[in-house]
């Protein structure tokens, strides 16, 4: 806690919010427009329209990682009083407050799931929610599996569970954000204590509920497949996406503001770079562990996941993830000079965000066979469209408070000498 009796206040950062909103709006219009046009053309090959909603799911799952990952990192920052979290705290706070809007953006997926459950067909991206016409032994095995898992893999359970999960997350987010201004600007010790009371259990709650989200929204797309490591892989993607987004945006908004850059001493910049490296390394460990366990087990119900994703051109995505999500950041972020220069960290975090988007495409789209090649451009367009729409809500929240947390920024100005 900072001594709030001192006259110190955080330096202002001039942000051109109208320009940023225009960029977000342009991304939404172009992204959704391209997604709709490509989807209409793709209907020639995909007569049931599943690709249309599957690629939208890619965009939604990716951008969901920002508010959820921000919540976890914000809670960790408050619990440990970490200096790196103080730097990007306001971005985390704004991102978490968009959770109701990201829930609204899930409605197209929920709507098509309800329609499929009521009227049948194969439009839903989830196999357990569809009625495939295939009568092959594989389809029969899927039907048997769906019957055995009917209590969990059901629309009522799915809708109730997701409503509860988002409600719990919002209760924690609202509690922290309500008390944050009192603590940061007025030095209210009681408010700081209430924040810690939310943040410490919030980390545990995030770990538990994020496991359900990874299972329900992503892992259940693949028929008859499960992995105890996938929620860890998904969590590391959340961390990498949310932290990369916050660091990229912070450096981009600060620009060449020498007052802020002077406060952001080498110690804090190095901490940010090292944490970025750490997230990439844990992702690599979890991803390799999942592959190793499935390869060594060699079970028919598990190996299909990798058989689909390591042939037919999808292997190149896997190679790009190994290169850009592990090897490149491992080599680049070992250099102190990269961590100290904001423009270089912006390139690294942009690369990591892009490869996390590739991760989500690789998780979801190869689940079903596709005719043609439009499913990948559709997924990219959906990423841009959902990102633009979410960005409009995010900028509205970010504009409500300054980029740096009031008097708490004094810690950055007076500490952190690194030799």
Cβ contacts of residue 188 below 8 Å, gap of 6+?
179, 182
H helix intervals, 149-299: 155-186, 189-213, 230-254, 258-263, 266-297
Instruction: Please tell me the predicted confidence (pLDDT) of residue 6.
Output: 58
pLDDT at 5 (0 to 100): 55
User: Which of 369 and 48 is assigned the larger pLDDT?
Assistant: 369
User: How many whole angstroms separate alpha carbon 39 and alpha carbon 375?
Assistant: 8
Number of neighbours of residue 139 by Cβ within 10 angstroms = 14
Contact 339, 272 (CB under 8 A): yes
**Integer Cα distance of 239 and 283 in angstroms:** 9
- Determine if the pTM surpasses 0.85: yes
Closest CA to 405 of 97, 92, 167, 27: 92
Compute the distance between CA of residue 240 and CA of residue 225 in angstroms, rounded to an integer: 25
Instruction: Answer left, alpha or beta for residue 418, where phi above 0 means left and psi between -120 and 50 means alpha.
Output: beta
pLDDT of residue 121: 84
What pLDDT, on the 0 to 100 scale, is given for residue 135?
Answer: 43
- For the cut 50, the answer to whether the pLDDT of residue 390 exceeds it is yes
Residue 110 and residue 174: Cα distance in Å, rounded?
A: 25
Instruction: Kindly report which listed range (11-25, 163-177, 182-196, 272-286) carries the lowest average pLDDT score.
Output: 182-196
Q: Check if the beta carbon of residue 385 is closer than 8 Å to that of residue 59.
A: yes
Q: 17-26, 164-173, 292-301, 345-354: which range is least confident on average?
A: 292-301
User: Closest by alpha carbon to 271, among 84, 409, 408?
Assistant: 84
How many residues appear in the chain?
419
Checking if the pLDDT of 141 tops 60, the result is no
Question: What CA–CA distance (Å, rounded) separates 169 from 360?
Answer: 22
pLDDT band at residue 264 using 50, 70 and 90 as cut-offs: confident
User: What mean pLDDT do residues 248-273 have?
Assistant: 90
Strands (DSSP E) along 252-398, which ranges?
none
Q: Tell me the domain boundaries of the chain.
A: 25-412
Residue 221 has pLDDT above 80, yes or no: yes
Q: Are 194 and 175 in contact (CB under 8 A)?
A: yes
Taking every pair of C-alpha atoms in the chain, what is the biggest distance, in angstroms? 74
Q: Does residue 142 have a pLDDT over 80?
A: no
Question: How many whole angstroms separate alpha carbon 38 and alpha carbon 377?
Answer: 8
Which region among 70-79, 128-137, 198-207, 221-230 has the lowest average model confidence (pLDDT)? 128-137
Mean local confidence (pLDDT), 293-311:
90
- Confidence grade of residue 209 (pLDDT, cut at 50, 70, 90): very high
Alpha carbons 93 and 98: distance in angstroms, whole number:
9
Q: Compute the distance between CA of residue 135 and CA of residue 59 in angstroms, rounded to an integer.
A: 32
- Other Cβ atoms within 10 Å of 263 Cβ, number: 21
Determine the number of helices (DSSP H) and then strands (DSSP E) in the chain. Answer: 19, 0
How many other C-beta atoms are found inside a 10 Å radius of the C-beta of residue 271? Answer: 18
Lowest mean pLDDT among 108-117, 133-142, 164-173, 389-398: 133-142
The pLDDT confidence band at residue 152, using thresholds 50, 70 and 90, is: confident
Query: Would you place residue 223 in the very low, low, confident or very high pLDDT band (cuts 50, 70, 90)?
Result: confident
- Percentage helix, strand, coil for the chain under 3-state DSSP, each rounded to 5: 80, 0, 20
Q: What's the gap between Cα 297 and its chain centre? A: 30
> Residue 250 above 90 pLDDT?
yes
Task: Say whether pLDDT at 132 is over 70.
Answer: no
Mark 286-321 as b/e (b = at least 16 C-beta within 10 Å): bbeebbeebeeeeeeebebbbebbeeeebeebbebb
* pLDDT the model gives residue 419: 41
pLDDT tens string 319-352: 999 999 999 999 999 999 999 999 999 999 999 9
Residue 139 binned pLDDT confidence (cut-offs 50, 70, 90)? low
């Amino acid at each position: 806690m900072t001594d709030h009796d001192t006259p110190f206040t955080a330096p202002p950062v001039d942000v051109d919010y109208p320009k940023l909103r225009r960029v977000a709006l342009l991304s939404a219009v172009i992204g959704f427009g391209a997604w709709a046009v490509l989807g209409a053309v793709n209907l020639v090959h995909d007569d049931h329209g599943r690709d249309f909603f599957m690629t939208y799911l890619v965009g939604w799952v990716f951008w969901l990682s920002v508010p959820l990952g921000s919540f976890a990192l914000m809670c960790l920052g408050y619990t440990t009083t970490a200096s790196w979290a103080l730097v990007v705290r306001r971005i985390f706070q704004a991102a978490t407050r968009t959770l109701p809007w990201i829930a609204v953006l899930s409605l197209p997926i929920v709507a098509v799931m309800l329609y499929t459950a009521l009227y049948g067909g194969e439009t839903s991206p989830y196999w357990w929610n569809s009625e495939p016409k295939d009568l092959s032994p594989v389809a029969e095995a899927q039907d048997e599996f769906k019957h055995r898992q009917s209590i969990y893999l059901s629309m009522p359970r799915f809708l109730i569970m997701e409503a509860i999960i988002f409600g719990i997350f919002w209760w924690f987010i609202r509690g922290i954000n309500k008390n944050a201004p009192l603590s940061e600007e007025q030095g209210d010790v009681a408010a700081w204590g209430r924040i810690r009371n939310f943040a410490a259990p919030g980390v545990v709650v995030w770990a538990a509920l994020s496991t359900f989200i990874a299972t329900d929204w992503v892992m259940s797309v693949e028929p008859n497949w499960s992995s105890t490591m996938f929620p860890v892989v998904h969590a590391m993607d959340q961390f990498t996406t949310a932290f990369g987004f916050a660091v990229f945006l912070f450096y981009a908004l600060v620009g060449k503001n020498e007052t802020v850059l002077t406060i952001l001493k080498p110690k804090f910049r190095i901490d940010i770079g090292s944490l970025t490296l750490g997230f990439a390394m844990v992702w690599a460990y979890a991803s390799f562990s999942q592959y190793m366990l499935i390869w060594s087990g060699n079970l028919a119900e598990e190996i299909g996941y990798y058989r689909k994703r390591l042939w037919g051109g999808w292997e190149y995505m896997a190679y790009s993830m190994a290169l850009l999500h592990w090897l490149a950041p491992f080599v680049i972020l070992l250099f102190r000079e990269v961590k100290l220069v904001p423009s270089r960290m912006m390139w690294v975090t942009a690369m990591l965000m892009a490869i996390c988007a590739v991760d989500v495409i690789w998780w979801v789209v190869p689940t079903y066979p596709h005719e043609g090649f439009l499913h990948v451009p559709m997924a990219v367009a959906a990423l841009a469209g959902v990102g633009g729409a979410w960005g409009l809500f995010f900028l509205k929240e970010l504009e409500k408070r300054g980029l740096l947390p009031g008097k708490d920024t004094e810690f950055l100005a007076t500490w952190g000498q690194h030799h």
